[in-house]
A and B are shown apart, each in its own frame.
Chain A
Amino acid sequence: FFQYCLSGHPTLPCNVLKFKSTTIMLDCGLDMTSTLNFLPLPLVQSPRLSKLPGWVLKDGSTFLDKELKECSGHVFIDSVPEFCLPETELLDLSTVDVILISNYHCMMALPYITENTGFTGTVYATEPTVQIGRLLMEELVNFIERVPKAQSASMWKNKEVQRKCYTMPEVNAALSKIQLVGYSQKIELFGAVQVTPLSSGYALGSSNWIIQSHYEKVSYVSGSSLLTTHPQPMDQASLKNSDVLILTGLTQIPTANPDGMVGEFCSNLAMTVRNGGNVLVPCYPSGVIYDLLECLYQYIDSAGLSNVPFYFISPVANSSLEFSQIFAEWLCHNKQTKVYLPEPPFPHAELIQTNKLKHYPSIHGDFSNDFKQPCVVFTGHPSLRFGDVVHFMELWGKSSLNTVIFTEPDFSYLDALAPYQPLAMKCVYCPIDTRLNFIQVSKLLKEVQPLHVVCPEQYTQPPPTQSHRTDLMIDCQPPPMSYRRAEVLTLPYKRRYEKIEIMPDLADSLVPLEIKPGISLATVSAVLHTKDNKHVLQLPPKPPQPPASKKRKRVSDDVPECKSLKPLLSGSIPLDQFVQTLEKHGFSDVKVEDTGKGHIVLLQEAETLIQIEEDSTHIICDNDEPLRVKLRDLVLKFLQKF
């Protein structure tokens, strides 16, 4: 049992588990932080970004000045942005049998894994995960492709781990390999392993996975939440009795309380709008945005914001809002019951109906006609390197009336802002990360009690910037096994049993004996068949009747070696009863001697001696087979067979 660790990013994991001769990839997250090194891709020609000076090395050499530009005191790559892929050297991707996806954020590298790699396996994910994952990929591809960049820099690179964005045909091909699954659905893999997704409470359709055989259980916990937001609550009980629990996707901002952040978000938004400024919320097109819209739905009237337009701009804005309303079965109880009325589970339906929330595929087209200020704009991408958000940063950055509020925790907001400095616009950082924090983790681990915990190395030490906070790490016994990118771990298992089936006719032939109250035993001699990792015990074939002819030898060739094996014996011989039995069977001259450790029974005429002790019996006689067999059977009467 091995785990290959292909990603070093704790919230965008990619691990491969070798478990009972199956190769299972757990998630394939795409690390997009690399895009922060690139210049933003403006939707509208930006005079500022197009006239940046080339970067000159200290020694004056300029061979990189076409590719690297200086902007706001930092150096950026002037090129189509590239992403950091999971490690692909560690194992042959064509050997991966299945990929299990835990949530839509953790599948963004899927086309890189399944396309042009020889991958022939199956991907398992829930329906919301696939649908929303598709929207995220579609948005990403759209953002990158609609701003064709003349150059694709390559000189700055020193390693080939970064790759350009995939295309829609690749996305469609990758998604076609997905098989939809439901929570608590048991999926059999090759008869050897069963995998089951469980609700993880983090996002629509997000799941943790149980990977188990009859006797080993690995729990894969990735991106889970105990907070009550829109998704179905986390299923904790099913994680119990795990041999190994792989723990990834904890909160990236362990010190921030999501509820407090939402409060701050609302008050900053209201203050800016009241002062006549605009609010920009860089975000993903699905997820926390649903919760923010719901908060605003409850908040805007009391805050006097009823006349402020809310714009949601994304190529997939409409789809995301529509899809959110049709996955009632994957939502928390409150939202589920709304559907029974029947009402849409999310109140943003009402915001749209009353024209308070409007959605557009991009800033071009209808939006430019409808656009009224002051307003609130939700748009992507949270890295501020591509998407419509780049336009609003350029447009609103110079006025201190405006505010950009960061809610997504995936990118450092200071790094994201770097190419836009100096900024007059206010910047508010309200990261909302509902995933487990360390207090919740330790409670969870106490509750489900796995034998071993495996986690990324980042979780085994305090964050580098807060080295005194020893509470911001996983604390459990035995201490967790940690992994880092490109490492192979051997997982600790102690397997003792395997499942085997006893065929009905064999079962009928067994003779169970009650040895102790409540415990019965039966000796089994049977033929073992093993096929497709399943073991079956059958009645041994009857020994062939010796044919009349002398060709005996040949017949036995086909029969398995049915050498009848003698059972083990247990118990002790009660002396008096044994002597009585001997006498009953015609031994009239029995003499008994005491030896201290036991007794010796002498049969004088037969010149036979039987040593009887607590745990042994020794029959010493002349070479008289009938006599020996007779004595043996008398002894066996007093013993139990195993």
Chain B
Amino acid sequence: CPSPLSPGAGQDVGRSCILVSIAGKNVMLDCGMHMGYNDDRRFPDFSYITQNGRLTDFLDCVIISHFHLDHCGALPYFSEMVGYDGPIYMTHPTKAICPILLEDYRKITVDKKGETNFFTSQMIKDCMKKVVAVHLHQTVQVDEELEIKAYYAGHVLGAAMFQIKVGCESVVYTGDYNMTPDRHLGAAWIDKCRPDLLITESTYATTIRDSKRCRERDFLKKVHETVERGGKVLIPVFALGRAQELCILLETFWERMNLKAPIYFSTGLTEKANHYYKLFITWTNQKIRKTFVQRNMFEFKHIKAFDRAFADNPGPMVVFATPGMLHAGQSLQIFRKWAGNEKNMVIMPGYCVQGTVGHKILSGQRKLEMEGRQILEVKMQVEYMSFSAHADAKGIMQLIRQAEPRNVLLVHGEAKKMEFLKQKIEQEFHVSCYMPANGETTTILTNPSIPVDISLGLLKRETAIGLLPDAKKPKLMHGTLMMKDNSFRLVSPEQALKELGLTEHQLRFTCRVHIQDPRKEHETVLRVYNHLKGQDYSVQHLPDGSITVESILIQATAHSEDQGTKVLLVSWTYQDEELGSYLTSLLKKGLPQSTS
């Protein structure tokens, strides 16, 4: 029975970390950090997992779904500071990009903010040495019983959903995914794998988003208008993911409209990021893959590297800056510079975690208390455009339809919205749906059938016996199930005996039936024969004067004292008891008068 425990992702988007126990195996799904906190609360509480004892002994493996820090940000802390030496699985692009984002975040936290008790660069490197890269659809055998398999999830480059399987029990964990292809990624896809449990994100549990085209037009219009009136546009993004999609969008728009205002991308990660997209182009959508030889979509003509000094330049410009929730770094610096001018605009293209500046301005706050009790008045326009590639309610339902799970568990969303989605899922699919809080354990009972090996001899014998004209008619089979060291084999009873080195003990019965018949013995036998052969059995009269009915033997002798009485000896084995018992009772009733 899979029982997920979630020390991280419950009903509050921000930190994913789920523990699943399935058929005795323990797997940790994602290891995210909460971007809204600056203290211990930013990392999941790993003491939930095991009070005492090493994590390496308890966990069979760790799976990371994608490179966003709310899914992998606590990994070096977990593996190097808490201590875990087992395998960590992620896709190739995630393995490539994850350490760069971790290092970037570490720099902001430690070098700029001067925080201590954080992981070091070396810890990130040591942590990544424990990572095993997996291909899409590859069946990875973690150990003899536990296997995992990755499916394409869209969302960001290298994002994957994972199937975790032990015997015939399985769980699918979606991580973050999107069910509609966008300008650079394809849509998530999974086969009808019928997991016992589907753990799905539900960030946009109630939203059914309007068409992508509309949102794109809206975005371009807003950027264009601001630039036209000489304003500056700040787009806080994460270096990889939405950024590339919006760059492609703006690049083609600038090209078409022949615009001259500069577009910048905050340096550092950018160029590198685009390199990753070029090298992992097989993970992007079909259109980009098909045309990459002629024109690589990630080589931008209009988008230039940003320098800090440019922020004070006069005139319009568009700047993509990291990080995406305005909680630190360059995006926050630029925001502070531009916030006071109502001509400017900030466009938040994704979700912001509570506690971040991004979240505050999106919820309407216009006076922000910054470090050092400074108050920042926000006069610039604030726009929210949901470009983050999460599945909406429609998408979540679609994935459930694809995978056909027996149970659904919602994580990574807000309680109220999840409740609504839960009802919808239960209504439409008639499966149980759960939504545990942080630190809560959900137990799901499964009722798996048990696969066993059946000896071909037995199977063939049974199908041969049962082969009636109507092949659909069920056949009854008899066999012996041998259970030895977790191996289950169904064999014929004879084979079971033989394999155990035992001999059969034959139990035989012989009953004496007295019959009044003055005739000679062989004539009595003949009468018995005639009496029985009308029945539905194979009856034979043997040369030695005995009769067999199937395997039952009947002999006649004269009574030692009474010549008018014959004694019929009816003899059978335990296995033929029914027929033997039936024949004795039949013979006991006497023989019909001879017709011959």
Is B450 interfacial (CB 8 A cutoff)? yes
Is B529 interfacial (CB 8 A cutoff)? no
Which residues on the B side are within 8 Å of A512 (C-beta)? Answer: 481, 483
User: Which of A327, A518, A568, A632 is close to B575, meaning CB atoms less than 8 Å apart?
Assistant: A568
User: Which of A498, A504, A540 is close to B449, meaning CB atoms less than 8 Å apart?
Assistant: A504
User: Which of A497, A501, A521 is close to B455, meaning CB atoms less than 8 Å apart?
Assistant: A497
Is B118 interfacial (CB 8 A cutoff)? no
Is B142 interfacial (CB 8 A cutoff)? no
The answer to whether B454 and A570 touch across the interface, beta carbons within 8 angstroms, is: no
User: Which of A325, A504, A538 is close to B448, meaning CB atoms less than 8 Å apart?
Assistant: A504
Main secondary structure of the interface of B (DSSP, over half): mixed
Which residues on the A side are within 8 Å of B139 (C-beta)? Answer: 184-186, 196
- Mark each residue of chain A from 493 to 535: 1 if its CB lies under 8 Å from any CB of chain B, else 0: 0011111111110010010100110111111111111100001
User: Which of B95, B505, B581 is close to A340, meaning CB atoms less than 8 Å apart?
Assistant: B95
Is B209 interfacial (CB 8 A cutoff)? no
- Mark each residue of chain B from 78 to 106: 1 if its CB lies under 8 Å from any CB of chain A, else 0: 00000000000000100110000000000
Q: Which among B21-29, B176-184, B254-262, B274-282 touches the partner chain? A: B274-282
User: Which of A571, A628, A636 is close to B511, meaning CB atoms less than 8 Å apart?
Assistant: A628
Are A570 and B478 also in contact (CB < 8 A) when A328-B280, A501-B451, A618-B510 are? no
Is A462 interfacial (CB 8 A cutoff)? no
- Mark each residue of chain A from 297 to 336: 1 if its CB lies under 8 Å from any CB of chain B, else 0: 0000000000000000000001100110111110000001
- Mark each residue of chain B from 440 to 484: 1 if its CB lies under 8 Å from any CB of chain A, else 0: 000000011111111111010011001000000111111111111
Which residues on the A side are within 8 Å of B473 (C-beta)? Answer: 560
Q: How far is the CB of A235 from chain B (nearest CB, A)?
A: 11
Tell me, in angstroms, the Cα distance from A325 to B512 when the chains sit together. Answer: 91
Is B533 interfacial (CB 8 A cutoff)? no
Is B490 interfacial (CB 8 A cutoff)? yes
Which residues on the B side are within 8 Å of A326 (C-beta)? Answer: 278-282, 292
Is A615 interfacial (CB 8 A cutoff)? yes
Q: Which among B244-252, B344-352, B494-502 touches the partner chain? A: B494-502
Tell me, in angstroms, the Cα distance from A525 to B474 when the chains sit together. Answer: 13
Tell me, in angstroms, the Cα distance from A572 to B505 when the chains sit together. Answer: 7
Tell me, in angstroms, the Cα distance from A339 to B97 when the chains sit together. Answer: 10
Q: How far is the CB of B448 from chain A (nearest CB, A)?
A: 7
User: Which of A339, A502, A615 is close to B506, meaning CB atoms less than 8 Å apart?
Assistant: A615
Are A497 and B474 also in contact (CB < 8 A) when A528-B462, A569-B507, A615-B505 are? no
Is A623 interfacial (CB 8 A cutoff)? yes
The answer to whether A568 and B511 touch across the interface, beta carbons within 8 angstroms, is: no
Which residues on the B side are within 8 Å of A319 (C-beta)? Answer: 293
The answer to whether A342 and B135 touch across the interface, beta carbons within 8 angstroms, is: no
Which residues on the A side are within 8 Å of B506 (C-beta)? Answer: 569, 615-617
Q: How far is the CB of B475 from chain A (nearest CB, A)?
A: 5
Is B136 interfacial (CB 8 A cutoff)? yes
Tell me, in angstroms, the Cα distance from A507 to B447 when the chains sit together. Answer: 11
Tell me, in angstroms, the Cα distance from A344 to B275 when the chains sit together. Answer: 9
Which residues on the A side are within 8 Å of B466 (C-beta)? Answer: 528
User: Which of A185, A186, A495, A522 is close to B456, meaning CB atoms less than 8 Å apart?
Assistant: A495
Q: How far is the CB of B449 from chain A (nearest CB, A)?
A: 4
Nearest neighbor of A328 in chain B, beta-carbon distance: B279
The answer to whether B456 and A537 touch across the interface, beta carbons within 8 angstroms, is: no
Is A561 interfacial (CB 8 A cutoff)? yes
Tell me, in angstroms, the Cα distance from A471 to B511 when the chains sit together. Answer: 75
Is A619 interfacial (CB 8 A cutoff)? yes
Is A642 interfacial (CB 8 A cutoff)? yes
Q: In the complex, which residues 496-525 of chain B have their Cβ closer than 8 Å to any Cβ of chain A? A: 496-497, 500, 502-514
The answer to whether B496 and A642 touch across the interface, beta carbons within 8 angstroms, is: yes
- Mark each residue of chain A from 605 to 620: 1 if its CB lies under 8 Å from any CB of chain B, else 0: 0000000000111111
Which residues on the A side are within 8 Å of B452 (C-beta)? Answer: 499-502
Which residues on the B side are within 8 Å of A500 (C-beta)? Answer: 451-454, 459, 490
Is A621 interfacial (CB 8 A cutoff)? yes
Which residues on the A side are within 8 Å of B303 (C-beta)? Answer: none
Are A502 and B450 also in contact (CB < 8 A) when A325-B279, A326-B279 are? yes
Is B591 interfacial (CB 8 A cutoff)? no
The answer to whether A519 and B505 touch across the interface, beta carbons within 8 angstroms, is: no
User: Which of B496, B502, B508 is close to A618, meaning CB atoms less than 8 Å apart?
Assistant: B508
The answer to whether A617 and B496 touch across the interface, beta carbons within 8 angstroms, is: no
Is A395 interfacial (CB 8 A cutoff)? no
Is B423 interfacial (CB 8 A cutoff)? no
Is B485 interfacial (CB 8 A cutoff)? yes
Nearest neighbor of B584 in chain A, beta-carbon distance: A623
Q: How far is the CB of B380 from chain A (nearest CB, A)?
A: 35
Are A507 and B450 also in contact (CB < 8 A) when A497-B489, A519-B484, A566-B577 are? yes
Is A625 interfacial (CB 8 A cutoff)? yes
Tell me, in angstroms, the Cα distance from A513 to B11 when the chains sit together. Answer: 48
The answer to whether B138 and A182 touch across the interface, beta carbons within 8 angstroms, is: yes
User: Which of B272, B278, B476, B489 is close to A526, meaning CB atoms less than 8 Å apart?
Assistant: B476
Is B436 interfacial (CB 8 A cutoff)? no
The answer to whether A497 and B453 touch across the interface, beta carbons within 8 angstroms, is: yes
Which residues on the B side are within 8 Å of A447 (C-beta)? Answer: none
Is A183 interfacial (CB 8 A cutoff)? yes
Q: How far is the CB of A543 from chain B (nearest CB, A)?
A: 12
The answer to whether A328 and B92 touch across the interface, beta carbons within 8 angstroms, is: yes
Tell me, in angstroms, the Cα distance from A342 to B280 when the chains sit together. Answer: 10
The answer to whether B485 and A642 touch across the interface, beta carbons within 8 angstroms, is: no
Is A439 interfacial (CB 8 A cutoff)? no
Which residues on the B side are within 8 Å of A628 (C-beta)? Answer: 509, 511, 581
Is B378 interfacial (CB 8 A cutoff)? no
Which residues on the A side are within 8 Å of B500 (C-beta)? Answer: 515-516, 519
Q: In the complex, which residues 550-594 of chain A have their Cβ closer than 8 Å to any Cβ of chain B? A: 560-563, 565-572
Q: How far is the CB of A19 from chain B (nearest CB, A)?
A: 16
Are A566 and B505 also in contact (CB < 8 A) when A181-B137, A524-B480, A525-B478 are? no
Q: How far is the CB of B555 from chain A (nearest CB, A)?
A: 12
Tell me, in angstroms, the Cα distance from A328 to B93 when the chains sit together. Answer: 10
Tell me, in angstroms, the Cα distance from A499 to B480 when the chains sit together. Answer: 15
Tell me, in angstroms, the Cα distance from A426 to B448 when the chains sit together. Answer: 71
Are A522 and B281 also in contact (CB < 8 A) when A182-B137, A617-B506, A622-B511 are? no
Q: In the complex, which residues 553-578 of chain B have their Cβ closer than 8 Å to any Cβ of chain A? A: 574-578
Q: How far is the CB of B159 from chain A (nearest CB, A)?
A: 15
User: Which of B92, B457, B479 is close to A336, meaning CB atoms less than 8 Å apart?
Assistant: B92
Tell me, in angstroms, the Cα distance from A329 to B578 when the chains sit together. Answer: 67
Is A264 interfacial (CB 8 A cutoff)? no
Tell me, in angstroms, the Cα distance from A182 to B149 when the chains sit together. Answer: 11
Is B493 interfacial (CB 8 A cutoff)? yes
Is B585 interfacial (CB 8 A cutoff)? yes
The answer to whether A571 and B482 touch across the interface, beta carbons within 8 angstroms, is: no
User: Which of B272, B455, B479, B513 is close to A623, meaning CB atoms less than 8 Å apart?
Assistant: B513
Is B140 interfacial (CB 8 A cutoff)? yes
Which residues on the A side are within 8 Å of B430 (C-beta)? Answer: none
The answer to whether B493 and A523 touch across the interface, beta carbons within 8 angstroms, is: yes
Is B588 interfacial (CB 8 A cutoff)? yes
Are A521 and B481 also in contact (CB < 8 A) when A497-B453, A625-B584 are? yes
The answer to whether B138 and A183 touch across the interface, beta carbons within 8 angstroms, is: yes
Tell me, in angstroms, the Cα distance from A616 to B293 when the chains sit together. Answer: 83
User: Which of A185, A507, A518, A623 is close to B588, meaning CB atoms less than 8 Å apart?
Assistant: A623
User: Which of A127, A507, A519, A535 is close to B482, meaning CB atoms less than 8 Å apart?
Assistant: A519
Tell me, in angstroms, the Cα distance from A181 to B474 when the chains sit together. Answer: 38
The answer to whether B448 and A183 touch across the interface, beta carbons within 8 angstroms, is: no
- Ordered by A's residue number, 25 sampled pairs between the chains whose C-beta atoms are within 8 Å are A184-B135, A185-B135, A322-B292, A344-B279, A495-B456, A497-B456, A500-B452, A500-B490, A501-B452, A507-B450, A515-B500, A518-B484, A521-B480, A535-B454, A538-B474, A565-B575, A566-B577, A568-B493, A615-B505, A618-B510, A620-B511, A620-B512, A621-B512, A632-B574, A639-B505
Query: 3 tightest CB-CB pairs across the interface, nearest first?
Result: A616-B506, A342-B275, A527-B474
Further 18 A-B residue pairs, CB within 8 A, beyond A528-B474, A560-B473, A568-B497: A182-B136, A184-B139, A185-B135, A326-B280, A326-B292, A329-B282, A344-B279, A345-B279, A498-B453, A503-B449, A504-B448, A518-B484, A522-B481, A570-B504, A619-B507, A619-B509, A620-B510, A622-B511
